[in-house]
Amino acid sequence: MTGVIQPDCLFCRIASGEIPAKLVHDDDLVVAFNDINARAPTHILLIPREHLTSAADLTEDHAPMLGRLFAVAAGIARDRGLADQGYRLVSNVGRAAGQSVDHLHWHLMGGRTFTWPPG
Ligand code: AMP
Ligand code: ZN
């Protein structure tokens, strides 16, 4: 399901400020905040303000938001000194991939070594 805001969606409610989160960045298109259950020394979630269920809902019309989101992610990684050692930027799509919150998000994870492929 897509739409500007879904009132019963956890990440829509974080984006609107209704549910508190440790914000790392927010602007008119994108919000970034610390993952509540960090799986790496740096574990940040980046979301569009617009409600999209997953990357499966993206179209070319989302290009401005996606440009912003990836630029913000790169900036955060640079600011935190992760760019040289490397980091992971990943979006799970659907249950089989491990998606548990149905609002499009990317995990920005860094500060440790990751294996590939993920489990
Ligand atoms: P995924 O499993 O890929 O859908 O990722 C969802 C992520 O959201 C998980 O890493 C959770 O730890 C994280 N999460 C769930 N609830 C919250 C919350 N209230 N604040 C911050 N992160 C959350
Ligand atoms: Zn949402």
pLDDT at 4: 82
What are the tokens at 41?
A: 């020394």
C-alpha span between 119 and 4 (Å, rounded): 33
How many whole angstroms from 21 Cα to the centroid of ligand 2? 15
Q: Is 81 left (phi over 0), alpha (psi -120 to 50) or beta?
A: left
Q: Which residue's C-alpha comes closest to atom 15 of ligand 1?
A: 36
Query: What are 2-15's pLDDT values in tens digits?
Result: 678 888 999 999 99
Q: Across the chain, where does the E strand assignment appear?
A: 23-26, 30-34, 42-48, 87-90, 106-110
Tell me what pLDDT residue 21 has. 98
- Which ligand is nearest the CA of 101, by number? 1
Pocket-forming residues, ligand 1, beta carbon under 6 Å: 10, 21, 35-37, 45, 92, 98-101
Q: What is the Cα–Cα distance from 40 to 31, expressed in whole angstroms?
A: 20
- Tell how far the Cα of 84 is from the centroid of ligand 2, in angstroms: 33
Q: Which ligand is nearest to the CA of 109?
A: 1
The CATH class that applies to domain 2-110 reads: alpha beta
Q: State whether residue 60 is helix, strand or coil.
A: helix
> pLDDT (tens digit, 9 = 90+) per residue, 52-106?
999 999 999 999 999 999 999 999 999 999 999 999 999 999 999 999 999 999 9
Contact indicator for 82, 75 with CB cutoff of 8 Å:
no
Task: Read off the pTM.
Answer: 0.97
pLDDT of residue 1: 57
Parse the chain into domains and list their residue ranges: 2-110
